[in-house]
A and B are shown apart, each in its own frame.
Chain A
Amino acid sequence: MSHLSEEQLDQIIAEERSREQAPLNEWRTIAARAREEGLIRESESSRWWASSQPWLQSAAAVLLLVGGIAIGRTTIALPSAIEGPAVTSTPPASTASTAAASGSSGSVSGNATFASVDDASAALNRAVDAYQRASVFLAANNASVGSGDSLAMYSARAAALDKIENATVSALQSAPHDPVLNQYYLATMGARVATQQMVARPVVLRGF
């Protein structure tokens, strides 16, 4: 009977080592046990956050959205009108997301009124989703920034995000349970990691 060679077995082992696997338990199972043992402390702020209305959580998301736009505008000099030519010449795969972004922003702009808190929450969620997709699209397609400048742009963005991170970490030391600060912190960390990857390996920017 034939056998795998040692090298072939090593190859299979290497694949196994890097294989992604789902967690064995859900967090709520672990949390329930930890709560039983008194390892989780029920703080006032976490109780407030857990029991807060969805619209409060959505309001925090809007703060993130506005902050994100501000960061984006100050660090990459985003053109104020991107809809026109961009939509007409976008690649097919991106058209749907751009259209969705335009549609969503329309639904929450101007003097829109909402029939209920749920309506408003849904509109906020759509806006956040559209913002995230639009950001990804712009990062890949924004022709206003030449490829020669991309490294400088990402470096500037990384430096700005470092400052924001330092500020949120300082704030969190005084108010570790503040939900808005936590959201800012996590969003900043995520953006910083993504930006650092870009600095290390700048993407090839595609024009429209």
Chain B
Amino acid sequence: MPFDQLDLKRAIDGDERAMQRLWSQHSPHIDAVVRRLCDDAELAADISQEVWMQIFRALPSYRGDSQFGTWAHRIAVNRTLNALRKIRRIAKLEVDIEDDSAMTEQDSDRTFMAESIEQAMTKLSPGARAVFVLHDIEGYTHGEIGEELGITSGGSKSQLFKARAKLRKLLAHLMDESSTVVKGKGHVAPV
């Protein structure tokens, strides 16, 4: 019996050690996608907790049609995007009240040079960021992204084009004289 299957059975029965092993095995990937979709570490930690609760709640409904990691990953993406939608609805109201902030952000973008792709992604619009993360990092197709985000496949392609263009600009200084990416500048060490 594969390791996951035995642990799954026991986790469904509420065995903490089995649940912990599932979490240990899958949290690097699950947490990474949550972290990339959010641009705030604290928010990502909160959403990740919700994601894991949802995964444990839904365990009895897992039928094994796909790999457990794939199934859990779908829950993570879905839950994170839902949480972000709720937060942005509130945030949009705040921006409407103080709309000077948007202009300030654009000014700072002109001189901003990202030290890592993680930092550069914070400068993408929420939609472009989600499309970029799901397509280029997580390997979703434009059709799948369209379903997740409620947009058309063409809309997803367009967002991705804009996201990549902006990232290429924000990360341009990472290019050394020989036109190769400066080694070690691709990312910053995890905290």
Contact = CB atoms under 8 A, between A and B. Distances in A.
Interface of A: 1-6, 8-9, 11-13, 15-17, 19-25, 27, 29-31, 33-34, 37, 39-41, 43, 46, 169, 172, 176-177, 182, 189
Contact of B45 (A15, A24, A31, A43): A24
Contact of A4 (B48, B53, B56, B174): B174
A9 B15 contact: no
Interface in B39-67: 41, 44-45, 48-49, 52-53, 56-57
Interface residues of B, number: 48
B175 to A, nearest CB: 6
B171 A20 contact: no
A21 B31 contact: yes
Given A3-B168, A16-B117, A34-B53, A41 B14 contact: yes
A182 B17 contact: yes
Nearest to B36: A16
14 contacts: A4-B167, A4-B169, A5-B179, A15-B186, A16-B187, A19-B187, A21-B32, A24-B41, A24-B45, A25-B45, A27-B23, A39-B14, A43-B15, A182-B17
A24 B52 CA distance: 11
A133 to B, nearest CB: 23
A9 B28 contact: no
Interface in B121-173: 136-137, 164-165, 167-169, 171-172
B6 A4 contact: no
B118 interface: yes
Contact of A15 (B6, B44, B179, B187): B187
Contacts of A25: 31, 45, 48-49, 52
A24 B10 contact: no
Main secondary structure of the interface of B (DSSP, over half): helix
A106 to B, nearest CB: 34
B171 A22 contact: no
Nearest to A16: B117
Contacts of A17: 137
B15 A177 contact: yes
A12 B174 contact: yes
Nearest to A2: B172
Given A16-B137, A24-B45, A27-B23, A40 B14 contact: yes
Interface in B12-29: 13-17, 19-20, 23-24, 27-28
Contacts of B186: 11-12, 15-16
Given A3-B165, A39-B56, 8 more contacts: A4-B169, A4-B174, A8-B180, A21-B28, A24-B41, A24-B45, A25-B45, A40-B14
B34 interface: yes
Nearest to B138: A17
Contacts of B14: 39-41, 43
B133 to A, nearest CB: 10
Given A8-B175, A24-B35, A41 B13 contact: yes
A101 to B, nearest CB: 29
Contact of B28 (A11, A15, A23, A30): A23
Nearest to A31: B16
Given A31-B16, A39-B14, A24 B164 contact: no
Nearest to A32: B49
